[in-house]
Structure 1
């Protein structure tokens, strides 16, 4: 199992942060590994709610992989996405807290990756690369939120 945690502060109000990140299709803007992500539950353009699904294509170490993500938790201060395919399961757990000024939000990003079967033997060797992706997210996620807020 690989676990990556990062905390960042963004100059965007909490409600805007949660609204934007609740649509996992936006992962193409903030997740450095995501190359494509589309709503997969036939609800494209409809409001996002718990149970929504996305088809995600990610590239890691030069190889593309596809996962189906599901929004498992949608609270005003927390989002939890579960991704699955034949070789791995992943959880993206994002929690939010407003700054005192109301215009800034603290974002806590927690990713857990579980490889299945033979692929699980690679976990110790991949940890460092996932940590690098976590470092990239501390730049790409705030940038995407600011771009979105500015419209």
Structure 2
């Protein structure tokens, strides 16, 4: 009998689950050739939340401390968060929060995402909803749209 894993999901995007390799392994990231544990394995939801919280706190402090005269600190914190993601994720593959949480953002072939993918990912991230809807590889809608994967750095 065919099941959900056989049919894919709307989260799998165009082409369903046929695009990545599916070798029958059942851990997150297996179809992308990622190990089950250790460096390069898909980061857990908890690590991702820790990274985002650290980044958000830093962005709020920057917005309140340095940019409060420019505009509303809450909106400026979002601008700082998007800027941080575009600059740091786009070039290094990780933000300060990602570094603290021991994770990094990569394209599906293991490279840093670059500024364009980082911008797409950051703009969807600030909507809050996309990271909450993940697929079997713990990829939120923002990661799927940008063609990225969050993995453990060590």
Higher relative contact order (CA 8 A, sep 6+): 1
Which has the larger Rg? 2
What's the TM-score, normalizing by structure 2? 0.25
Query: Which structure dedicates a bigger proportion of its chain to helix?
Result: 2
Query: Which structure dedicates a bigger proportion of its chain to strand?
Result: 1
What's the TM-score, normalizing by structure 1? 0.26
